[in-house]
């Protein structure tokens, strides 16, 4: 069974968030995530365990549960809302059986949500297309119409496979963690007037 989500409001002060943002910018390397010719995001990755990242670690690590370690860390600068996926293979060299939480720590306030669903994929694939092929449940709307209207970047039929586990609103200083095996996506924040959104993202595995 997937892990329960963790939601913490006011986990960090404004000063802490601004400090983290500045420090990470000084030590990160930037790479673009492009899929089907579309630039989805710029990723500002840093080595979480390096000596130069100690002051960053001192702020973030108290929020990471015991027996779990961070194996990938970055600031996500999202430029186009992510569609349905899991984070199973996102961390590089970790095996799927060891993956734990994805953490999201927004760097500003946004009228935007991350949707996490009860449906999950263990092991074989993080592609929603593969999940759909094996799906035997009802094909009907199981989330609210209001929520469905925030997911207009998804194929409408895909939404019929999903039930809501948690909806997290991006607020500066808050923290959200969810099981990397669960399907999740952004809402279509372009429709609420945002052109991008930024957050610290941590992927974790068992120690
Ligand atoms: Fe993700």
Task: Locate 26 and state its tokens.
Answer: 């000084």
* Res. 95: pLDDT tops 70: no
Sign of CA dihedral 80, 175, 84, 97: positive
* Res. 92: pLDDT tops 70: no
**What would the pLDDT profile of 44-90 be if each residue is shown by its tens digit?**
999 999 999 999 999 999 999 999 999 999 999 999 999 999 998 75
CA of 182 to the centre of ligand 1 (A): 9
Percent of the chain with pLDDT over 90: 89
CA of 50 to the centre of ligand 1 (A): 24
CA of 191 to the centre of ligand 1 (A): 20
Is the separation of the CB atoms in 123 and 96 below 8 Å? yes
CA of 85 to the centre of ligand 1 (A): 6
CA of 184 to the centre of ligand 1 (A): 6
The arithmetic mean of pLDDT across residues 183-200, rounded, is: 97
- In total, the chain counts a number of residues equal to 207
Q: How far is CA 114 from the centre of its chain?
A: 7
CA of 13 to the centre of ligand 1 (A): 25
Confidence (pLDDT) at 89: 72
Given the structure tokens 């420090």, which residue do they identify? 23
Please report which confidence band the pLDDT of residue 98 belongs to, taking 50, 70 and 90 as the band edges.
confident
* Res. 11: pLDDT tops 70: yes
Residues surrounding ion ligand 1 at CB below 5 Å: 87
The arithmetic mean of pLDDT across residues 104-129, rounded, is: 91
Which of 117-126, 142-151, 179-188 is least confident? 117-126
Domains present along the chain, CATH in parentheses: 6-206 (2.60.120.620)
Confidence (pLDDT) at 44: 98
The arithmetic mean of pLDDT across residues 87-111, rounded, is: 81
């Amino acid at each position: 069974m997937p892990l329960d989500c963790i939601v913490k409001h006011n986990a960090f002060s404004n000063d802490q968030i601004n400090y983290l943002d500045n420090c990470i910018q000084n030590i990160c390397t930037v790479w673009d995530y492009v899929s089907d010719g579309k630039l989805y995001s710029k990723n500002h990755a840093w080595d979480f365990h390096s000596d130069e990242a100690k002051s960053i670690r001192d702020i973030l690590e108290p929020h990471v549960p015991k027996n779990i370690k961070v194996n990938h860390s970055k600031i996500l600068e999202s430029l186009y809302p992510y569609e349905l996926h899991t984070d199973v293979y996102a961390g590089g060299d970790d095996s799927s059986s060891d993956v734990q939480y994805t953490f999201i720590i927004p760097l500003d306030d946004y009228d935007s949500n991350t949707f996490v669903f009860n449906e999950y994929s263990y092991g074989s694939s993080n592609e929603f297309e593969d999940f759909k092929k094996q799906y035997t449940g009802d094909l009907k709307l199981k989330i609210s119409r209001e929520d469905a209207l925030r997911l207009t970047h998804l194929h409408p039929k895909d939404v019929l496979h999903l039930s809501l586990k948690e909806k997290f609103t991006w607020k500066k200083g808050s923290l959200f963690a969810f099981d990397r095996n669960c399907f999740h996506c952004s809402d279509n924040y372009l429709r609420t007037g945002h052109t991008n959104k930024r957050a610290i993202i941590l992927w974790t595995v068992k120690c």
